[in-house]
Structure 1
Amino acid sequence: MADITASMVKDLREKSGAGMMDCKKALSETSGDMDAAMDWLRTKGLAAAQKKSSRTAAEGLVGVAVSGTRGAAVEVNSETDFVAKNQQFQDFVREVTQIALATGDELEAIKAAAMPSGTSVADVLTNNIATIGENQSLRRARRLEVSQGAVVSYVHNQQSPGLGKIGVLVALESEAPEAALQDLGKQLAMHIAAAFPKALNEADLDEAEIERERAIATEKAADSGKPADIIAKMVEGGIAKYRKEHALVSQLFVMDGKTKISDVVAKAGKDAGHTIVLKDYVRFQLGEGIERETSDFAAEVAAASGVPQKPTDGDKPTA
């Protein structure tokens, strides 16, 4: 029997997309023949992940979990929203969220961690791709923690407890009573879900984005024909407004449209008798930033059936 090395298993796993133990077994069954091992995996339906891995996965679920002063959020993607209703997929997202809560938000560490079944997250994900029949990916994770206080979660468009389309975590550091922190946290989380802040503070905003906004504002102001010093003031005024509108603490609270978030937090602390510090937040929106493929479903069906599609009026040749 041929010696099966870790390198051989790694190569087959990368080639097939199958799990590590399945690759090891395939190589053992085929005396280390890579091509034969690939065929063995295909006959078992375990190499299906390879073909699916190139397909866009922009649906799925965001999961959130909280335990005391710690909270975690993860995003696991699939190709269609039908998978989000699949119990196997939901259980996977829920379990991965708990792993992130325990181990942190480094993706490779999460993938290497063991699921309750004892199998690694990466291998369970590969198996899910084969059994559910769609490409899936663990896209991102984030964990928040405070020394004292609370991390509060909120899920918008909830599909199942702790799972939905938008997941929010709010980290509040304080000696204030738990009830007061939970109430404030829920209000802030709902605001974050609706207002989509880009950073906690103005200083944390992406400077590259700020420069793009400055270039746009400069070009617009230049068309006004005003003197250069006036244009400069217009541009900086526009940038100041942009910073306030996109930094969480300076946004206007969506509940009343007039109170700054920093003032909402300060008032809650005063009412509770203890200073409350808004330490951080997480907002994961499903598929955010993923470029989705568009397709003509009718054309796909026609192509699959071999029946040519009738031209629309826009497709008809002109005389």
Structure 2
Amino acid sequence: MNISAQMVKELREKTGAGMMDCKKVLEASEGNIDQALEMLRQKGLASANKKSQRVAAEGIVESYIHTGAKIGVLLELNCETDFVARRNEFQSLAKDIAMQVVASPNIEYVSVADIPEEIIVEEKRIEAGREDLANKPDNVKDKILKGRIEKRLKELSLLDQAFIKQSDITVEELIKKHIALLGENIQLKRFEKFVVGGGAPKETNNFADEVAEILQNK
């Protein structure tokens, strides 16, 4: 059956689970809200968003140096207690996210909410000036422009990237699954990517393909 945005919204408000998780269980339950709610509870996802409001001041700084030592990443992943910070699942999550940064060459921010307003304004200016929009009615142009801007901003956001090891979920959804698993709020605080040569103009390797190859060979 067709799962409406209103049904997803209703289930999300009741459970605090992620949008994609809500949509998947609604599809599996053929739109039965009560059954979908039970499925979320069984998966431990119903309270993930509620936990995400709690203070996360512990955690770790994770590093990942890509093969060849030409590119590396440092990131800070936070949780609520040092006990969880020492868990293998938490540390593996941090490592996976660090690899994700290397595999996502376009990202510059943790989330869309972190993107400065001046960047958004500039992206809107560029998209609005594209030739294919010139002769379209204003209402159509505005709709197309909105979709393109949302897509572009998500390209810059780490949390909105498809997870390299499981492409049907985003990095944000991956973190929420670990919130449910570990029972604590988990937040990606910041990250920094280091590339040998900095911004010097030269031919570079496709690090995303190299990371994918490493994962396939494991």
- How many angstroms apart in 1 are the aligned matches of 2:194 and 2:157? 16
Which ranges of 4 or more aligned residues in structure 1 deviate by more than 6 Å? none
The match for 1:184 is 93
Greater relative CO, 1 or 2 (CA 8 Å, sep 6+) = 2
The code of the aligned residue for 1:183 comes to S
Give the SS at the match of 1:290. coil
Please say if residues 60 and 85 of structure 2, whose CA atoms lie closer than 8 Å, have aligned partners that are also in contact: no
Matched, 1:234 2:144: yes
Correspondence list, 1:218-233, <5 A: 218-220=128-130, 222-223=132-133, 225-233=135-143
The code of the aligned residue for 2:71 comes to I
Extract unaligned runs of 5+ from structure 1.
1-145, 159-163, 293-319
Please say if residues 64 and 73 of structure 2, whose CA atoms lie closer than 8 Å, have aligned partners that are also in contact: yes
The match for 2:177 is 267
C-alpha displacement of 1:182: 1.2
TM-score (norm 1): 0.41
The code of the aligned residue for 2:185 comes to T
Give the SS at the match of 2:64. strand
The match for 1:167 is 72
The match for 2:110 is 200
The match for 2:163 is 253
- How many angstroms apart in 1 are the aligned matches of 2:133 and 2:191? 39
1:263-288 Cα deviation digits (max 9, x unpaired): 10111122123221111111122234
- How many angstroms apart in 1 are the aligned matches of 2:138 and 2:197? 42
TM-score (norm 2): 0.58
- How many angstroms apart in 1 are the aligned matches of 2:183 and 2:171? 18
- How many angstroms apart in 2 are the aligned matches of 1:241 and 1:221? 19
Please say if residues 133 and 141 of structure 2, whose CA atoms lie closer than 8 Å, have aligned partners that are also in contact: no
Between structures 1 and 2, the one with greater strand share: 1
- How many angstroms apart in 2 are the aligned matches of 1:211 and 1:286? 31
The code of the aligned residue for 2:72 comes to G
Extract unaligned runs of 5+ from structure 2.
1-55, 203-218
* TM-aligned CA distance change 1:287 to 1:205, over 3 Å: farther
Matched, 1:285 2:206: no
C-alpha displacement of 1:227: 0.3
**For the aligned residues, what is the CA RMSD?**
2.4
Please say if residues 127 and 145 of structure 2, whose CA atoms lie closer than 8 Å, have aligned partners that are also in contact: yes
C-alpha displacement of 1:243: 1.1
- How many angstroms apart in 1 are the aligned matches of 2:119 and 2:90? 33
The match for 1:33 is none
Please say if residues 195 and 254 of structure 1, whose CA atoms lie closer than 8 Å, have aligned partners that are also in contact: no
